[in-house]
C-alpha cells in the first residue's frame, strides 16, 4: 500500500528537502525586511488578513524575532534598549491554558492549571484562604472565596490573552455544598419513642447511624451499604418513622417480594397482615385498601397508572441500580412515583454497576430537577458531543462526585468499616488445566481474530459469541477442578455460572459424583427457591449450591458456605461482588475463599482486565471498594502428567503451560495482547441493553 522500502526512503528525503527550503525562505524574510514581495507568485498577506494594517503588523512581528534566540529573557530595567518589544502572538497560535475548579473536601476547593502560569500563581497568593501542598503542588481555598477567585481569573487581561479556558464548579454542585446540615436532634432521644420498639432494639449501631442520616435528609436518601449489612432494616425503620405519610410502596426483585413481606410482619407486628399486599401478577387487586404494597419492577412498570392513582407517600426502591437507564420505561414510572411521594428510600450495595452516568436517574428521584443530564454528565461523565450524539460513557471529577453524594444523598459503609469481627475474604484466580481445554478450537481463534478487527456494536456481538463459546470449552476443566474440591467432605461451597450449558453440566457432574446439592436458576419457582436455600443452610449433607449468576447474585443468604466458586465471569464487577456477598456477610462464622476459574486463550483473557478497569473508576467515585487484581493466582492440578491419555491414539494432549504463582494474574497470550489493549481502551460494558443481550445468550 505504501510502496517498497526504497520508495519510502526517497519520499522521506524529498520531504526533508522541502522542510529545509521552507526554513531558509523564512530566514530570508526575517533578515531582509525591504525585499519586495513577488505578488505574482505568492498570496499577499493583506489579502489573507483582509487589510494592509495586518500585513504591516505581520512584518513587524517577523522583524523582531531573533533567529538564534527566539525566546529571549526580558531586559533589565537599568539597561538602555531602544529596540521595540516583541509583539504578542495571536491567542489562536498559543496552547490553551485550562484552569479547573473542583471540590476536594466539603468546604475547600482546588484550582488546577494545565501548565504552569506565573500570572495565575500571583492571583492565587492574593486569596486569604490559600493553601499550597508542595507534594501534590496543588492550591486549595475555602469555598467562601470561590466567587472572588473566579472573578479575578476571569477579569485578568494577561490570562485572557493566553487563550484561557475556565472550567468552573457548576451551580448545582455549589448549591449542594453550601447547604446546611439537616436536623440531628433525634440522636438525643430514645429511638423506641419514634419507631416500633422491637425494631429499635434490633438495629445495630451503624444501622442507627443510617437511620439518622435518612431523617436528616428528610427521608430522601440512598443507603448504599455494602451487601450483607442490613439495608432492609434501616429502610423499614425510616418507613416506620414516616408512617404518617403512608401508604408505603416497596419495589424489589421478583424473588424478594415474599421476603420483604415476611420481614415487615416480623419487625412491625402492629401492622395488620391483611393490609400488606404482594402483587404477583398484573391482575392482582386490593391495592386500594392496602397500607403496604410490595411489587416487582416489571409489574411496577405495567401497573404504573394504577400505582400513581394510589398516591404513595413513601417509596422504598430495593436494588435501585435496576433503574440505571434513564431512558427505560420502568425508570420513567419510578420517577413519576417519586415526584408524588414525600419520602423516597433507595437501597443498593452497588448503585453504579459500571459508570457514573448510571447514578443520574437515582439522584434525580431523590432531588428532582437538581441538574439536567447534560449538566451532570458534562461534569462527572466527561460528556461531549460526538458525531453519534451525546456521549456520557466516560468519567471526570470523580473525587468531587464522591463528596457530593455523601453530602446530599448517600450513606455508604463497608464491612471493614462497621464489623471488625467479620471474617476475612480471600480471592484466588485459578488457571484451569490447559490439557482439558481445546485452546486450538477454530472457533476461539476466529472470534479472537474477528474481535481484534471489529469495532462498535459488531465488536460487542463478537465478544458475546466468544463468551458463549468459552462456557462450553471450559466445562471439562471446571468439573475436573471441582472434583478436587469435593475431596474435602466437610466443605460446603457455592458455584456460580451463567450459561445454561454450564449450569446443566455442573448439575450432571454432581449427580455422577453422588453429591447432594441444590440448584437455583431463572426457572426455579419462588417456593422451591426458598426451600432450596433453607436446605443448604440447615442440612449438612447438602454440600453444593449450583446457582445462576443473574438469578442469585442478590436477595439470598448462604452463610453455610465457606467457599464461593465462579465457573464463569461476567463483565459487570458489581454482579460478581454481590454474588460473593451471598456467603461473606453478617452471620458468617468462618473465613471465606472466593475462586475465579479462568481459562487461558478464551474470552476470560478479555473480560478479566475489563472488570479490573471498571472497578478502578468506581472506586475513585466512592461507589466500590473491591479490587479483583488483589488476588492470589494459582494453577489447577494438571492431568497432562498422567500416562493414560497417551495410550489412546485418537486423543491429543495439550502440553502443560507453567503459570507462576503471583498476586496479579495475567491471562493474555501473544495472540491476544493487542486485543486486550483495545478492550481496555475502547470497550465499556454495563448499559441495560448490553445486559439484556448478555442475558439472552443461551447455549
Distance CA 532, CA 553 (A): 15
- Who's near 266: CB < 8 A, 6+ residues apart? none
Residue labelled with grid coordinates 439495608? 231
Residues 572 and 690 sit within 8 Å (Cβ to Cβ):
no
For residue 368 the three cell numbers come to: 428532582
Work out the widest C-alpha separation in the chain, in whole angstroms. Answer: 102
Strand 592-598 and strand 544-548: the pairing is: unpaired
Cα dihedral angle (669, 672, 677, 681), rounded to 10 degrees? -140
To which residue does cell 474435602 refer?
488
> Which residue's C-alpha cell is 448549591?
175
Which residue in 353, 318, 330 sits closest to 555, CA to CA? 318
Cα distances (angstroms) measured from residue 583 to each of 204, 530, 560: 20, 16, 7
Architecture of domain 425-635: 3-Layer(aba) Sandwich (3.40)
CA distances from residue 476 to 125, 426, 437, 502, 514 in whole angstroms, order as listed? 68, 25, 7, 10, 18
Burial per residue of 510-531, b for 16 or more beta-carbon CB atoms within 10 angstroms, e otherwise: beeeeeebbbbbeebeeeebbe
- Between the CA atoms of 361, 365, 369 and 370, what dihedral angle is there, to the nearest 10 degrees? -80
Cell of 425: 475474604
Residues 6+ apart with CB under 8 A from 538: 560
pLDDT of residue 511: 94
On the CB side of 61, CA atoms within 13 Å amount to 12
pLDDT in the model for residue 463 = 85
Domain boundaries 194-411, CATH class: alpha beta
120: burial class by Cβ within 10 Å (0-12, 13-18, 19+)? Answer: buried
Q: Is beta strand 384-386 parallel, antiparallel or unpaired with respect to 389-391?
A: antiparallel
* pLDDT value at residue 254: 85
Q: What is the DSSP string of 154-178?
A: HH-HHHHTTTEEEEPPPHHHHHHHT
As a whole number of angstroms, the distance between CA 249 and CA 247 comes to 7
Cell numbers for 472: 462450553
Strands 131-133 and 138-142, by their bridges, are antiparallel
- Round to whole Å and give the CA distance between 403 and 135: 22
Contact assessment for residue 407 and residue 570, using Cβ atoms and an 8 Å cutoff: no
In this structure, the chain runs to a length of 699
The three three-digit cell numbers of residue 304, written as one number: 404504573
Give dist(CA 612, CA 625) in Å, integer: 12
CB 470 within 8 A of CB 599: yes
Which residues have a Cβ under 8 Å from the Cβ of 354 and sit 6 or more positions away?
A: 572, 573, 574, 614, 618, 684, 685, 686, 687
How many of the other CB atoms lie within 10 Å of CB of 646?
Answer: 10
The alpha carbon of residue 37 and the mean position of all alpha carbons in its chain are separated, in whole angstroms, by 61
Q: How many CA atoms lie within 13 A of 524 on its CB side?
A: 21
d(Cα 318, Cα 578) in Å, to the nearest integer?
A: 14
For residue 583, give the nearest of 631, 544, 626 by alpha carbon.
Answer: 544
| Domain ranges within the chain, ordered by starting residue | 98-169, 194-411, 425-635
Distance CA 447, CA 453 (A): 10
pTM exceeds 0.95: no
CB 472 within 8 A of CB 691: no
Q: How far apart are CA 691 and CA 403, in angstroms?
A: 29
CA 161 to chain CA centroid, Å, is: 39
In the numeric block, which cell numbers belong to residue 257? 417480594
- The CATH number of the domain covering residues in 98-169: 3.40.1170
Closest residue by Cα to residue 626 from 638, 618, 636? 618
Same fold, 98-169 and 194-411: no
In this structure, what C-alpha cell is assigned to residue 245?
A: 405519610
For 340, the 3-state DSSP assignment is: helix
* Distance from C-alpha of 218 to C-alpha of 366, rounded to nearest angstrom: 10
The strand pairing partners of 152, in sequence order, are none
What sign for the dihedral angle of Cα 53, 54, 58, 61?
A: positive
What was the pLDDT predicted at 268? 94
Q: Tell me if 314 sits within 8 A of 242, measured CB to CB.
A: yes
Nearest to 564 by CA among 583, 590, 540: 583
Point out the residues of the chain with pLDDT beneath 50.
Answer: 1, 30, 33-55, 57-63, 65-72, 75-80, 92-93, 642-663, 668-699
Of 248, 342, 328, 263, nearest to 295 by C-alpha is 248
The vertex-71 CA angle with 65 and 73, nearest 5°, equals 115
Q: How many CA atoms lie within 13 A of 608 on its CB side?
A: 27
Q: Which three cell numbers stand for residue 394?
A: 466516560
According to DSSP, residue 430 is labeled E
- Contact (CB, 8 A) for 565 and 495: yes
Residue 371 has which C-alpha cell? 441538574
Predicted pLDDT at 514: 93
Query: What confidence tens digit (pLDDT) does each residue in 18-49 have?
Result: 777 777 776 665 455 444 444 444 444 344 33
Residue 111 backbone dihedrals phi, psi, to 5 degrees: -125, 120
Amino acid at each position: 500500500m505504501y510502496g517498497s522500502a526504497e520508495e519510502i526512503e526517497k519520499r522521506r528525503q524529498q520531504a526533508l528537502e522541502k522542510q529545509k527550503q521552507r526554513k531558509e525562505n523564512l530566514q530570508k524574510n526575517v533578515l531582509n525586511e525591504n525585499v519586495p514581495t513577488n505578488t505574482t507568485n505568492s498570496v499577499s498577506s493583506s489579502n489573507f488578513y483582509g487589510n494592509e494594517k495586518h500585513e504591516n503588523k505581520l512584518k513587524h512581528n517577523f522583524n523582531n524575532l531573533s533567529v538564534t534566540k527566539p525566546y529571549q529573557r526580558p531586559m533589565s530595567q537599568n539597561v538602555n534598549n531602544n529596540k521595540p518589544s516583541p509583539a504578542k502572538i495571536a491567542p489562536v497560535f498559543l496552547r490553551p491554558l485550562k484552569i479547573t475548579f473542583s471540590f476536594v473536601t466539603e468546604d475547600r476547593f482546588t484550582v488546577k492549571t494545565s501548565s504552569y502560569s506565573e500570572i495565575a500563581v500571583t492571583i492565587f497568593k492574593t486569596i486569604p484562604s490559600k493553601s499550597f501542598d508542595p507534594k501534590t503542588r496543588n492550591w486549595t481555598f475555602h469555598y467562601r472565596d470561590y466567587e472572588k477567585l473566579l472573578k479575578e481569573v476571569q477579569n485578568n487581561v494577561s490570562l485572557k490573552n493566553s487563550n484561557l479556558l475556565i472550567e468552573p464548579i457548576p451551580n448545582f454542585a455549589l448549591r449542594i455544598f453550601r447547604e446546611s446540615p439537616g436536623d440531628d436532634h433525634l440522636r438525643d432521644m430514645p429511638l423506641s419513642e419514634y419507631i416500633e420498639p422491637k425494631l429499635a432494639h434490633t438495629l445495630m449501631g451503624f444501622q442507627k447511624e443510617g437511620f439518622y442520616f435518612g431523617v436528616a435528609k428528610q427521608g430522601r436518601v440512598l443507603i448504599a451499604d455494602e451487601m450483607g449489612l442490613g439495608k432492609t432494616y434501616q429502610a423499614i425503620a425510616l418507613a416506620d418513622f414516616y408512617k404518617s405519610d403512608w401508604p408505603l410502596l416497596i419495589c424489589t426483585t421478583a424473588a424478594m417480594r415474599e421476603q420483604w413481606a415476611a420481614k415487615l410482619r416480623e419487625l412491625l407486628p402492629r401492622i395488620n397482615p391483611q393490609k400488606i399486599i404482594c402483587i404477583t401478577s398484573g391482575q392482582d387487586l386490593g391495592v386500594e385498601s392496602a397500607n403496604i404494597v410490595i411489587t416487582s419492577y416489571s409489574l411496577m412498570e405495567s401497573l404504573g397508572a394504577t400505582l400513581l392513582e394510589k398516591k404513595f407517600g413513601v417509596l422504598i426502591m430495593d436494588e435501585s441500580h435496576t433503574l440505571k437507564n434513564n431512558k427505560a420505561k420502568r425508570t420513567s414510572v419510578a420517577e413519576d412515583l417519586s415526584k408524588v411521594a414525600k419520602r423516597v428510600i433507595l437501597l443498593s450495595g452497588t448503585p453504579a454497576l459500571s459508570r457514573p452516568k448510571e447514578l443520574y436517574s437515582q439522584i434525580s428521584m431523590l432531588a428532582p430537577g437538581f441538574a439536567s443530564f447534560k449538566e451532570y454528565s458534562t461534569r462527572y461523565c466527561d460528556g461531549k458531543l460526538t458525531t453519534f450524539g451525546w456521549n456520557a460513557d466516560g468519567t471526570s471529577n470523580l473525587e468531587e462526585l464522591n463528596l457530593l453524594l455523601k453530602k446530599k444523598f448517600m450513606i455508604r459503609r463497608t464491612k471493614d468499616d462497621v464489623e471488625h469481627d467479620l471474617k476475612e475474604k480471600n480471592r484466588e484466580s485459578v488457571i484451569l488445566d490447559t490439557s482439558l481445554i481445546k485452546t486450538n478450537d477454530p472457533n476461539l481463534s476466529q472470534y479472537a481474530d474477528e474481535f481484534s478487527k471489529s469495532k462498535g456494536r459488531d465488536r460487542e456481538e463478537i465478544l458475546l459469541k466468544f463468551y458463549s463459546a468459552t462456557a462450553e470449552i471450559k466445562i471439562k476443566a471446571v468439573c475436573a477442578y471441582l472434583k478436587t474440591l469435593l475431596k474435602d467432605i466437610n466443605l460446603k461451597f457455592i458455584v456460580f455460572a451463567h450459561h445454561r450449558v454450564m449450569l446443566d453440566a455442573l448439575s450432571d457432574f454432581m449427580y455422577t459424583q453422588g453429591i447432594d446439592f441444590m440448584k437455583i436458576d431463572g426457572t426455579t419457582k419462588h417456593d422451591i427457591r426458598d426451600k432450596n436455600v433453607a436446605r443448604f443452610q440447615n442440612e449438612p449433607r447438602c454440600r453444593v449450591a449450583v446457582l445462576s449468576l443473574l438469578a442469585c447474585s442478590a436477595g439470598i443468604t448462604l452463610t453455610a458456605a465457606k467457599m464461593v466458586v465462579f465457573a464463569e465471569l461476567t463483565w459487570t464487577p458489581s454482579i460478581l461482588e454481590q454474588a460473593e456477598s451471598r456467603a461473606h456477610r453478617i452471620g458468617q462464622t468462618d473465613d471465606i475463599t472466593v475462586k475465579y476459574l479462568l481459562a487461558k486463550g478464551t474470552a476470560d483473557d478479555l473480560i478479566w482486565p475489563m472488570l479490573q478497569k471498571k472497578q478502578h473508576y468506581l472506586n475513585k467515585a466512592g461507589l466500590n471498594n473491591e479490587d479483583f487484581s488483589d488476588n492470589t493466582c494459582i494453577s489447577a492440578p494438571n492431568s497432562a502428567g498422567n500416562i493414560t491419555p497417551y495410550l489412546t491414539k485418537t486423543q491429543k494432549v495439550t502440553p502443560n503451560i507453567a503459570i507462576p504463582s503471583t498476586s496479579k494474574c495475567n491471562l493474555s497470550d501473544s495472540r491476544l495482547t493487542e486485543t486486550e489493549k483495545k478492550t481496555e481502551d475502547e470497550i465499556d460494558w454495563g448499559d441495560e441493553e448490553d445486559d439484556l443481550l448478555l442475558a439472552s445468550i443461551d447455549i
